Amino acid sequence: MKKLTALLIITAILLSTPSYLLAENENVLTWQKAYTLLNKNSSVLSDLSEAEQERRKQYEEASAEAKNIDTKGRTINILGNEIRIGYDEATQMLMTQQKELYPEQMRFYWNVSQDTLKRTANSLVISLRSLYLGMYNAHINVKIKERKYEIARNLNDQNKLRLEKGMISELDALESAYNLDRAKAELEAAKRNRENILRSLNLFLNQEISTDYDDIMPESQYYTSLRGFDYYLERALTYRAEIKQAEKQLVLLKKKKDIMERFPLSMNTISIRKDYNNLLLDIEIQEAKLEQAMIDIEAEVKEAYVEAASAVKNMENMKKLFEIQKSNIEKIRKMYEKGMISKTALDQAEISYQEFCSSYDMTLFDCNTKLMKLIFISGTGI
């Protein structure tokens, strides 16, 4: 009784565990597993993460040092006596910039490093999806070619017997042998292609070059639903790194201008007056850059949206075709069970159905990639 109870508990656990988590414990590659390996093993992401932490540290140090800056003057000790030395306006201006502006500049560089990390991660994910799709396609192609080779071999064996009994001509037998050789050659080519793509995938994921998997899993559902274009455009104009950085640079330039204008007497210094005039020009240039960035990003979002919308429409059409193909293969299987068609005809229909299912899976994966790319482009960017 205890053994039966334990068995029921184990069965319940297995049934309640998501299939993709079960796959993680097997020698099976899923998209989630590949994504995890990328984040874990990427030296590029690791280096950028370290750089981001270093920028954060520099910002914190600058903020701490700025709190102790006296913008009016400094006190020195001479022979035990404290003497207060006041700064002129030009020096006060520079010290005010050091206290109020420099920490914000360091925060800006830290934020840029954060954006760079996110954008690089997004770009690597899109590249990985391209490799993963190629790997899945190559893996399924080997399975299909193996099935075709087996059918060609069985048919060739049957035709040898038929030739001996005089049921077919030698030409028919030669054609059968030729089809077998061709199926074998196609299978070997498919295996080599799979090996090459697997090697590229392992290199990208910093895996052992010999790492292989018993199976490659497709995706089973949409990454996200497609919303209206305005949603993605508004999101992009809010979160895109180019916009945020351009706006922050403009804020920093205007803040510097504000600080300089607090000390009008410092403008009598030729170098400071020149710096101020250049600053005004920089503000105008930065405003123009911000406007141009908005125009460019709108065009980029529009292009990504059109691609994603087209992919979703294509996927919906594939779903309809899938139902038709599924119905057809079921009819063919019943016809075989009733003895109305041969095993060879059934096998060929099964292969055609398997090829369609493979196309369906790849179409869904490509659709999800385009949806993901749209999310990235309307977010930090890639």
DSSP string for residues in 114-177: HHHHHHHHHHHHHHHHHHHHHHHHHHHHHHHHHHHHHHHHHHHHHHHHHHHTTSS-HHHHHHHH
Q: Are strands 81-86 and 215-216 parallel, antiparallel or unpaired?
A: unpaired
User: Residue written as tokens 């899976």?
Assistant: 361
Q: Are residues 213 and 320 in the same domain?
A: no
The backbone torsions φ and ψ at residue 81, rounded to the nearest 5 degrees and listed phi first, read -110, 135
SS3 54: helix
Q: Are residues 208 and 237 in the same domain?
A: no
* 266 domain-assigned: no
Which of these ranges, 20-24, 100-104, 274-278, 319-323, has the smallest mean pLDDT?
20-24
* 299 domain-assigned: yes
Q: Are residues 153 and 233 in the same domain?
A: no
Does the pLDDT value for residue 164 go beyond 50? yes
Q: Angle 145-207-372 (CA atoms, 0-180°, nearest 5)?
A: 75
Q: Which of 217, 242, 262 is the last residue of a domain?
A: 217
Handedness of CA 280, 286, 289, 291 (dihedral sign): negative
Q: Are residues 174 and 59 in the same domain?
A: yes
User: For the chain, how many structural domains are there in total?
Assistant: 2
Task: Dig out the tokens for 5 from the structure.
Answer: 């109870």
Q: Are residues 370 and 239 in the same domain?
A: yes
The confidence score (pLDDT) of residue 171 equals 93
* 36 domain-assigned: yes
Q: Are 266 and 89 in contact (CB under 8 A)?
A: yes
Q: Are residues 157 and 186 in the same domain?
A: yes
* 49 domain-assigned: yes
DSSP code of residue 101: I
CATH number of the domain to which 139 belongs: 1.20.1600.10
The confidence score (pLDDT) of residue 355 equals 96
Does the pLDDT value for residue 377 go beyond 80? yes
CA 256 to chain centre: 38
Condensed to tens digits (0 to 9), the pLDDT of residues 236-284 reads 999 999 999 999 999 999 999 999 999 999 999 999 999 999 999 999 9
Q: Are residues 296 and 340 in the same domain?
A: yes
CA distances (Å), 340 to each of 34, 158, 324, 331, in order? 45, 20, 21, 11
* 347 domain-assigned: yes
Amino acid sitting at position 47: D
Task: Dig out the tokens for 48 from the structure.
Answer: 């950028």
* 308 domain-assigned: yes
At 6, is the pLDDT very low, low, confident or very high (cuts 50, 70, 90)?
very low
Q: Angle 5-10-14 (CA atoms, 0-180°, nearest 5)?
A: 145
What percentage of the chain reaches a pLDDT higher than 70? 93
Q: Are residues 176 and 233 in the same domain?
A: no
Q: Are residues 296 and 213 in the same domain?
A: no
Residue-wise burial string across 370-381, b where 16 or more C-beta atoms lie within 10 A, e elsewhere: bbbbbbbbbbbb
DSSP letter string, 310-345: HHHHHHHHHHHHHHHHHHHHHHHHHHHHTTSS-HHH
* 180 domain-assigned: yes
CA distances (Å), 89 to each of 72, 75, 182, 296, in order? 9, 17, 88, 43
Q: Are residues 233 and 154 in the same domain?
A: no
Q: Are residues 239 and 366 in the same domain?
A: yes
Helix axes 31-41, 43-67, angle to 10 degrees: 50
Amino acid sitting at position 138: A
CA distances (Å), 116 to each of 110, 123, 319, in order? 10, 10, 38
What's the average model confidence in pLDDT over 47-60? 97
Q: Are 235 and 378 in contact (CB under 8 A)?
A: yes
Handedness of CA 219, 223, 225, 227 (dihedral sign): negative
What residue numbers bound the domain in which 366 lies? Answer: 226-250+292-382
User: Residue 61: which residues within 8 A CB-CB, separation 6 or more?
Assistant: none
Q: Are residues 346 and 316 in the same domain?
A: yes
pTM of the model: 0.86
Condensed to tens digits (0 to 9), the pLDDT of residues 96-107 reads 999 999 999 999
Q: Are 108 and 286 in contact (CB under 8 A)?
A: no
* 16 domain-assigned: no
The confidence score (pLDDT) of residue 78 equals 77
- Please indicate whether residue 217 or residue 2 has the higher confidence score (pLDDT): 217
Strand ranges for the chain from DSSP E: 28-29, 73-78, 81-86, 215-216
